[in-house]
Amino acid sequence: MKISPSVQDVLNKQINAEFWSAYMYLAMANWCEEQGLRGFANWLRVQYHEENSHALKFVNYIHERQGEVKLQPIEAVPLTWKSVLEVMEKTYEHECKVTEMIYNCVNVAEAEKDRATVNLLQWYVDEQVEEEANADEIVTNLRFIGESKGALMQYDHVLKGRSFKDETK
Q: Which residues bind ligand FEO (CB under 6 A)?
A: 18, 21, 51, 54, 95, 98, 131
In angstroms, what is the minimal distance from the CB of 42 to ligand FEO? 17
Q: Specify the residue, 60 or 154, whose C-beta has the smaller distance to ligand FEO.
A: 60
34 vs 100 by CB, closer to ligand FEO: 100
Q: Smallest gap, in angstroms, from Cβ of residue 144 to ligand FEO? A: 24
Is 37 in contact with 156 (CB distance < 8 Å)?
yes
Taking the complex as a whole, the smallest distance from the CB of residue 47 to ligand FEO amounts, in Å, to: 7
Please identify, using beta-carbon distances, which residue of 131 and 156 lies nearer to ligand FEO.
131
DSSP structure string for the chain: -PPPHHHHHHHHHHHHHHHHHHHHHHHHHHHHHHTT-HHHHHHHHHHHHHHHHHHHHHHHHHHHTT------PPPP-----S-HHHHHHHHHHHHHHHHHHHHHHHHHHHHTT-HHHHHHHHHHHHHHHHHHHHHHHHHHHHHHHTT-HHHHHHHHHHHTT-----TT-
Q: Residue 98 CB, nearest distance to ligand FEO (Å)?
A: 4
- Rounded CA separation 59/57 (Å): 5
Minimum gap (Å) between residue 14 Cβ and ligand FEO: 9
Q: Which is nearer to ligand FEO, 51 or 145 (CB)?
A: 51
| Cβ-based neighbour number of residue 151 at 10 Å | 14
Among residues 151 and 168, whose Cβ is nearest to ligand FEO?
168
Residue closest to ligand FEO (Cβ): 54
